[in-house]
Amino acid sequence: MVQIPKQSAGRPAPVRRPVPTSADVARLAGVSRATVSYVLNNTSAVRISEPTRRRVREAAEELGYVPHAAARSLRAGHSRMVLMPAPAVPVGPLYHRFFAELQSELGRLDYTVVQYGSVGLRGDEAARAWAELRPVAVLVPGSGLGPQGVAVLKRAGARAVVTLGPERVEGAHALLMDHDRVGHCAGVHLLSRGRRRIGVVMPEEGGLEIFSRPRLDGVRRALRDTDAMVAELPLAYEEEAAARLAGRWRSLGLDAVFGYNDEYAMLLMRALQDEGVAVPDETAVVGADDLMLGRLLRPRLSTVHLDLPSGRDLAELVDRAVREPGAEPETHEVLGARVVHRASS
C-alpha cells in the first residue's frame, strides 16, 4: 500500500474570490440577465445582435463564468440529468461496452449521465439520496428499489424511472434481465451432453446473489422432470478454495459443473485438472459471459453468451419516457442467452 503523508499546511485559509454569477456577466456586458442566459444557452428563438452576443461571451470569458446546472434546473423545473447508481460489483467488459454506448447515445440526445456512488445505500433510502439531485430520469440496474422509492423519485421531479433487473417495480419502466434464462441454457446444454449430476458454483463473494440465485433456479428448471440432480457448490474466488473443492471432487460424484460465469469456471477447471480430473470426459465445465480468456485455456471453455439491449434502444426508451411521463410503464424482456459449445463440455 502506498502511503500519502499527512501534511498540515498550518496557515490561514485565504479570502476566496466569490464564484461569478450571470448577474456579474450581465453587469460587465451592460445587458440584462435574460440576455446573458439567451446568449450562453444558444437560444435561437430570440433575436440578439452579433456584437451583443460577442460582448456577453467576452464578459463570461473574462470573469470565468460557467452556467450553474442546478440553478438552471431550478428555473426550468427539471434537469437533463440521467442518474444511474454505479454498479456495486466490478463490471466486466460486456457491461462496460453497454454502458459506454448508452452514455454516448444519451449524450447525443442532450442528456448528461451521472453515476451515483451508492456504496452503503440500499433500496428506498438510496432513492431518497438520488432524488436530492433532481434527475429527470433514473436508470436502476439490479434490484432493491421498491414502489416507494419510485414514488419518491417521481415526486422529486423524475419523469422516468427505468429498472434493469429481475422483476417489474410498480410505477417504473422495466427492462427485465432474467438470469434464470442463463442457467436454463447451461442446464439444457449439459443434459443434452448426457450429464445427470450437475454442480452449480455459487460465488461466496458478496453482491452476486442477485445473479447467482436466478442462474441456479434456471438450471433446476431445465432439469425438472428428468432424472438429473443439482448440487450447490459454494466457492470463493481464490486458488486455495478451488483446490479444496477439487480435492473432494470425486466424493461428490458429479459429472458436470456450471461455473456461474467464465471466471469461476476457469478457476475450478484448472483446479480439477491439477487434481487429475479429466475435462470434459469425467466432468464437463460450462461458464457464462463468453470472455476471450475462456478460449485461451485448454480445453477451450464452453460458455453461455449474453446479449444485452442496445444502448441506442435504451436511450430512446428513456427519452420517450421523459417526453411522455404519464404513459403506461413499458416492460421488455431484454436479456438474450445462448450456449457457445467448445471443448470443455
Tell which positions 171-230 bind a second copy, by CB under 8 A.
Answer: 175
Closest distance of CB 325 from a second copy, Å:
7
> Is residue 308 at the binding interface for a second copy, with CB under 8 A as the rule?
yes
Q: 198-235: string of b/e by CB count within 10 Å (b at 16+)? A: bbbbbbeeeebebbbebbbbbbbebbeeeebebeebeb
Contact 71, 33 (CB under 8 A): no
Tell which positions 5-64 bind a second copy, by CB under 8 A.
Answer: 5-7, 9, 11-14, 16-17, 19-20, 63-64
List the beta bridge partners of residue 176. 165, 333
Closest distance of CB 265 from a second copy, Å:
11
> Is residue 107 at the binding interface for a second copy, with CB under 8 A as the rule?
yes
The correct pick among 272, 297, 304, 339 for binding a second copy (CB under 8 A) is 297
* Site size with a second copy, rule: CB under 8 A: 95
Contact 140, 85 (CB under 8 A): yes
> Is residue 327 at the binding interface for a second copy, with CB under 8 A as the rule?
yes
The correct pick among 51, 120, 194, 206 for binding a second copy (CB under 8 A) is 120
Choices 114-122, 190-198, 221-229, 276-284 (CB under 8 A): range interacting with a second copy: 114-122
Contact 173, 316 (CB under 8 A): no
The correct pick among 48, 109, 151, 210 for binding a second copy (CB under 8 A) is 151
Contact 318, 135 (CB under 8 A): no
Tell which positions 154-173 bind a second copy, by CB under 8 A.
Answer: 155-157
Tell which positions 58-97 bind a second copy, by CB under 8 A.
Answer: 63-74, 77, 86, 88, 90-93, 96-97
Per-residue DSSP letter, 178: -
Per-residue DSSP letter, 120: T
Contact 330, 174 (CB under 8 A): yes
Choices 27-35, 139-147, 246-254, 320-328 (CB under 8 A): range interacting with a second copy: 320-328
The maximal CA–CA distance of the chain, rounded, in angstroms, is: 86
Please list, in sequence order, all residues whose beta carbon lies within 8 angstroms of the beta carbon of residue 74, skipping any fewer than 6 positions away: none
CA distance 319 to 160: 9
C-alpha cell at 110: 442532450
**The one-letter amino acid at 308:** L
The correct pick among 138, 150, 266, 277 for binding a second copy (CB under 8 A) is 266
Pick 157 or 191: Cβ nearer a second copy = 157
In which element (H, E) is residue 306 found?
strand 302-307
The correct pick among 187, 317, 344, 345 for binding a second copy (CB under 8 A) is 317
The correct pick among 28, 36, 56, 113 for binding a second copy (CB under 8 A) is 113
> Is residue 132 at the binding interface for a second copy, with CB under 8 A as the rule?
yes
The correct pick among 183, 199, 214, 309 for binding a second copy (CB under 8 A) is 309
